[in-house]
Structure 1
């Protein structure tokens, strides 16, 4: 197993990488924003220059406050575009493989079917724009890069849709949930597994570097997602909250969300032999984890 230097220590994917590294005794250094300021590109480069030979660098840090980004453009661009480009430049200098996480928000959501990696991009807000800029900066700086575009991330950690539904559904009989946005709910632990598989699998002369989609198998609306969460939890609660299916227009937000965020992950599956589970199975797994934790 290759040693990993990871930017990010508290986000959902980062914490899952930490768990999986600990379970396999993988050498891992996880850098929080207190360790390295992502607004300081010199500090980013210095951290990579100090990493052990043969390391793989993983960027699991990002500015993910989608609505706040609309009024905090400079900080969002610094973290999502300038920082990853600096990481890639330093990795190129050290000869390190660089792994980076991107997003479905690079697409405008108008395609009727699942997005492929080569489909035209057209982000609809600052968050998506800066993540797309980050992709371009990374790919332009380094030739040994894997970028994973993912979507609708949830886990036992942090703040996410699944945990919000469990919190709200614990004492409500009905919840309004958007039904005209579709995507692929993706467990953070599955993303972590995909990244670590790529880290170990890639060689210097590999032809698999590049851009990939990676998401849970199958599609759902947010309302479908909520329904399955409540169905899974109903035996524990002894009841099942009703989902009132509403439209995006009923819940206006500063940033526009893609109506279709579904991602086709076949390219990653073919290249690395790993496919995320069907999203319903992963939801059941996380609900059980949370139940076990009380």
Structure 2
């Protein structure tokens, strides 16, 4: 565990060295919430509710989704890991007692931590400044959502690792990174609440709806699925993704060509 603690510490220091980018990204996320408020104000058109949401709840939905975004986005880490495979840097995992998957998860955790804190701080200030535009969130609901949020973040990182591993087979994987971002954001409910797209036909077994949509509904006190059920579904998907990652990692040394060494 000591080596992975060192990885987390190193990545954390690197994030602090470039913290300006992190804070700017968090500040710009406020504009997403403002735009969401203006857009949905027009859509509501004076109506009290729309698909079970009030305007304040809808605005809060995008506020919370913005806070959770750093836990489900790992673009930089995916690109770095893919570049190591293409450029020969993957060899360090073959000569050192270091698990590529363990490194990926530790680095992902560290890289998400500062953006997460920045997003929570900036968006919380925005909420306090415009309290009337947001719904009230009960702390007990947030506590219930935490296990689901953590499992969702772990699942997101595992799937990201699987996508990065396609570099062993494909020459150019940038389009896959872009595609998975679009698909994940939509299926997770970060773009629009999923009940407005799927209605009651939203499959309970889908892991993506538990990344953003479900935790936000839980924080709003509107979740129809018990937290234990959601956590159980996600835990099953995490174990399946972990098993697949470990299987591919075992085969990786036979497929690595050492280009760039």
TM-score under structure 1 normalisation? 0.29
**Which structure has more helix as a fraction of its residues?**
2
Report which structure shows greater RCO (CA 8 Å, sep ≥6): 2
TM-score under structure 2 normalisation? 0.31
**Which structure has more strand as a fraction of its residues?**
1
